[in-house]
Amino acid sequence: MTRVVLSIGANLGDRLAHLRGVLDALGERTRAVSPVYTTAPWGGVDQDDYLNAVVVAEDPTFDGYDWLRFGQRLEQAAGRVRAVRWGARTLDVDIVQCVDGGEAVVRDTDPTLILPHPEAYHRAFVLVPWHDVEPDARLRVDGAEVPIGELLHAVDPAERAGVVRTDLVLGESARPC
């Protein structure tokens, strides 16, 4: 059984519909859904703000590569174009962490799938919604399992303040694990 933490975001088109499409595709595999946040774009490319959320899901038949292909199919279905690094996106689905049999999967030598996500530990738009649904979660950083609350506290306060909770809802209700 693999358990995955997905960071999802959109800033083109019907942003909320694109995010809801992830939940529709996950169906019964969904274990937790964070509230929806609005965030400024990251990476220095001029573009509109994002809607972001975190989804926790489980599937006994999936490994990390299956989750990667799943996310890529959803991005393609939403019309994502990869023209500019950190550019505007109809849908972005990132695997933050994958746990298999209770152990976090670590892949740091395969550029196709690096786990855990190498930048997640310092991105408030990932940590804030993840903390909402799994406040006791831990993320491997430099070989150590670090509570995400500690990681979030270490993020620049201005970046944390830029992650603003909305009244938007992805599913019937945001539900913790």
Residues annotated catalytic, as ranges = 80, 89, 92, 94
CA proximity to 152, closest of 173, 177, 126, 119: 126
Q: At what angle do helices 64-77 and 15-26 cross, to 10 degrees?
A: 140
Residue 113 to residue 169: CA distance in whole angstroms: 30
Q: Do 55 and 177 form a contact (C-beta atoms < 8 A)?
A: no
Torsion angle, alpha carbons of 68, 73, 76, 82, to 10: 10
